[in-house]
Amino acid sequence: MNLLDKTLFAALVLSAFTVQAQDWKFSGESGVEGRFFPQKPRQIEQQKNLGVSIMMQPEFRYQASDRKTQLGFVPFFRYDAEDRERTHFDLREAYWRQIGDEWEVTVGVDKVFWGVAESRHLVDVINQTDAVEDPDQEDKLGQPMMAATTQKEWGALSLYWLPYFRERTFPGEDGRFRTQLPVNSRRAEYESGAEQWHQDFAVRYSHYLGDWDIGGYYFYGTSREPRFIVDDNEHKLVSLYDVISQVGIDLQYTNEAWLWKLEAISRKGQGKTFFASVAGLEYTFYQIMESDSDLGLLVEYQYDGRDSNAPDTLADNDLFVGLRWSLNDISDTAILAGVSVDRITGEQFYNIEAERRIDDHITAELRARFLTGSEVGEPSWFLERDDYIQLSVLYHF
């Protein structure tokens, strides 16, 4: 835990003693996770076929009786028996929030999500990716920030000051999902001389117009996506973080069972200014075959025009097709299955996610991911032997 995190932790603990204990709500989850890799690793030092880890994420939340003052404290810890870099602690949330008549102000560590697409979260730019948690890049580190939002008839306007940058986590030498040369997690290079203390800013506007949900933003700061340079002395990769400016939009149109979605960005600062987008639709068949379950069909196209001076991406010209099956039963059973196909190389990435509640406190989650058709020289080649099946059992308290 760095100095800023320790300071915020101390502030929130102190705040906890200023309010009555009954004003706090305590909840959270803990669990055990097992991963099975059917193929041998590409590097001999990487973990073999089985991996086990445990995690805990308690949540402490306070809300004043007038609902204008809120505190949140959500630490996260995972122990991984195979990958030392995956054993880590993070503050997902540690904030104070004050809600006034005109503005809502948040100070501390928080998570902010933007986006509407299923296959790629292109416009989500505030929080850094916690890449050791899951290769799908949906897990995020807590971001130190001061944020202010005003909600008017003409929409919501949010301003963000991000005073400290979080470096991306990466698997260690022993872990799966790593590059051929492991990333040195104890060293990083920055374009800015201020390094992690470069002051980042963002402004976002969002609104609802009939059946349309619209959002747009401008971000200036350190890119959450690093490039890599080779450290010949340690035979490792070193992350290089550029300063970028990025504009993005997200749109969703709802028409009965149809959802039409678009995310698009334009980024300057990593090679030639480039445009990227993900666009598609989701159609839901309700109560299929006279049952309570719903079946959704998802189709999305991913485009990315970045050049070789920008960080690699797997979603440059890909088509995603998927199904979302919600049984709407007492166990909240849901399944999402899909495949992304590279339209140039034919590379295919299969993803299956399923979850089911066992009782009032225990849930089970299944993940299965497989990559086929990757060739030497492609960004995904280092993942070619990292197909896996993951089972997690979570206890919610």
pLDDT-based confidence at 21, cuts 50/70/90? low
Question: Which helix (DSSP H) or strand (DSSP E) does residue 396 occupy?
Answer: strand 388-396
Distance CA 312, CA 6 (A): 34
- Indicate whether this model's pTM tops 0.75: yes
Q: Is the dihedral of CA 372, 377, 379, 383 positive or negative?
A: positive
| Residue 106 near residue 72 (C-beta atoms within 8 A) | no
| Residue 237 near residue 229 (C-beta atoms within 8 A) | yes
pLDDT digits (tens, 9 = 90+) for 48-105: 799 999 999 999 999 999 989 999 999 999 999 999 999 999 999 999 999 999 999 9
Distance CA 90, CA 142 (A): 7
pLDDT digits (tens, 9 = 90+) for 114-172: 999 999 999 999 999 999 999 889 999 999 999 999 999 999 999 999 999 999 999 99
DSSP β-bridge partners for residue 335: 325, 354
Q: What are residue 232's phi and psi, to 5 degrees?
A: -65, -25
pLDDT-based confidence at 3, cuts 50/70/90? very low
pLDDT at 7 (0 to 100): 47
Query: To 5 degrees, how large is the angle CA 176–CA 179–CA 183?
Result: 100
| Residue 96 near residue 129 (C-beta atoms within 8 A) | no
Q: Is 6 helix (H, G, I), strand (E, B) or coil?
A: helix
Residue 376, sorted as left (phi over 0), alpha (psi -120 to 50) or beta, turns out to be beta
Distance CA 280, CA 367 (A): 24
